Chain A
Amino acid sequence: MSLTDKDKAAVRAMWGKISKSADAIGADALGRMLVVYPQTKTYFSHWSDLSPNSAPVKNHGKNVMSGVALAVSKIDDLTSGLMALSEQHAFQLRVDPANFKILSHCILVVIASMFPKDFTPEAHVSMDKFFCGLSLALAEKYR
């Protein structure tokens, strides 16, 4: 299920529309992930405040979305583009890769809620494929 030229164009177009709101999207997606999937809180026991609009959540949401921005810019070769991030997740963070799907879903839900007219089924399929590719590249160095 690799990204076609059509998918890449759709992802770039979508990113063009949503990138100004990247920080807000990241904060909302991360915040709701912690509420909807409470098991994900286990990775953030070192944070003082796990509530949706807290400083750590907002800050980390920004980080996550700059990773997404990087992936968009490296969409032609996600594996090498995300190599450093993959190493970080594999050897330091050791986040179970099942959680990549969970966060991807939350990001798509936020995009749908913020950009209902733009998030058409065609845009959705390309974005879903993109996040699958991103997740796969992020898991590359795990074993």
Chain B
Amino acid sequence: MVEWTDFERATIQDIFSKMDYEVVGPAALSRCLVVYPWTQRYFGNFGNLYNAAAIMGNPNVAKHGTIILHGLDRGVKNMDNMKEIYAELSVLHSEKLHVDPDNFKLLSDCLTIVVAAQLGKAFTGEVQAAFQKFMAVVVSSLGRQYH
């Protein structure tokens, strides 16, 4: 069971309640596909991913980025049982999508960068620690059902 301090809970609720999922999701996913190009292997049917501009303008990438953020939202709303909440998605990523779980960390790092860019000075060390802890639990839960 993950123990969350009051500060951590409040910080996570605050960050995500103020976030526009339709902006942040696409920004994070497209950044991941640019910064770690091997992650494109999972998106062969998304169309043009030939360069950064194409990736950032790709509507399939944008749509999927939003879907991912809504997936994160489930964790935000269920911080005390994330393992259970993500069990089904974990099976999906393992059995159907065959995603190497190392990729979850890469996307998580890109999301951290996007949030840092949005929050500026407000993204203090303590806020970053809370955010990265939350993402680490998501990543761990998503990798849980792999075998």
Contact = CB atoms under 8 A, between A and B. Distances in A.
Contact of A112 (B34, B117, B129): B117
A69 B24 CA distance: 32
A124 B27 CA distance: 13
A105 B124 contact: no
Contact of B113 (A33, A52, A119, A122): A119
Given A121-B31, A121-B35, A108 B113 contact: yes
A125 interface: yes
B46 to A, nearest CB: 16
Contacts, number: 57
B117 A36 contact: no
A32 interface: yes
Contacts of B125: 31-36, 52
Contacts of B56: 121
A83 interface: no
B31 A105 contact: no
A122 B123 contact: no
A113 interface: yes
Contact of A122 (B34, B109, B118): B34
A32 B129 CA distance: 8
A64 interface: no
A128 B31 CA distance: 12
A16 interface: no
Contacts of B118: 116
With most chain B CB atoms within 10 A of its CB, the pick from A33, A112, A114, A116 is: A112
Nearest to B118: A116
B119 A113 contact: yes
Contacts of B31: 121, 124
Contacts of B55: 121
A83 B31 CA distance: 33
Interface string B105-147: 0000100111011111101111011001000000000000000
A124 B126 contact: no
B120 A113 contact: yes
| 8 tightest Cβ-Cβ pairs between the two chains A and B | A32-B125, A35-B125, A116-B117, A121-B34, A113-B116, A112-B116, A36-B129, A112-B117
Interface of B: 30-31, 34-35, 37, 52, 55-56, 109, 112-114, 116-121, 123-126, 128-129, 132
Given A112-B116, A128-B35, 4 more contacts: A113-B116, A121-B30, A124-B34, A125-B34
